[in-house]
Amino acid sequence: MTLLPLLFAIYVEGDDRDLAERLKRREPAAMGELYDRYGKLAYSLIYRIVRDTGVAEDLVQETFLRVWNRAQGFDAERGALGPWLLAVARNRAIDYVRSSGGKMTRGALELEAAEHPTVFVNFEADVLSQDRARRVRGAMDRLNENQRHVIELAYFEGLSQSEMAERMGQPLGTVKTWVRTALKNLREELREKAITA
């Protein structure tokens, strides 16, 4: 369930193509709509990584500014707007954590014990009531603990497979197998659910 923000954005209802075109035309109202649609998701994702509300708020602002400035380069044929925005948010957060300032303020992050920010608690309940979000949550729940853990380390901390192996005290080959199997299982589960829906 910890990957819910990104996975939900992939399955979010509605087509963002029109919104992307309006952003390319530099329509200010489009930016407001983009924020309304993805602001809470971006904040929750960034907060989950940096664990600091002030930093998360700043990085959300930087994320939306970056998307606004790079909207001309967005190609809807190559991907969806929501996942692209959340990838920008994730990358900004990971860049911050890897920076010297982020390392000094971040401390050790244990993802298993991390709590959701207050802003996201009610929003998550709303999201989980939707059928698409339940599919994503179900797919994540079907992964075993090791598979979930490596996906979280890769996604939230940007660790390579070698770094995961070192952190988890496991052989690199084992970690690679967990990652490959987790991704295969998620892909198959979500594809199967999309066909039967």
Q: What is the pTM of this model?
A: 0.56
The mean pLDDT value of the chain amounts to 76
Task: Select from 19, 35, 151 the least CA-distant residue to 43.
Answer: 35
**CATH class of segment(s) 4-130:** mainly alpha
Other Cβ atoms closer than 10 A to 108: 4
Helical packing angle, 145-157 and 172-196, nearest 10°: 90
Q: Domain boundaries in the chain?
A: 4-130, 142-197
CATH number of 142-197: 1.10.10.10
Alpha-carbon span 97 to 62, nearest angstrom? 15
pLDDT tens readout for residues 132-179: 666 767 777 888 999 888 888 887 777 888 989 998 999 999 999 998
Length of the chain measured in residues: 197
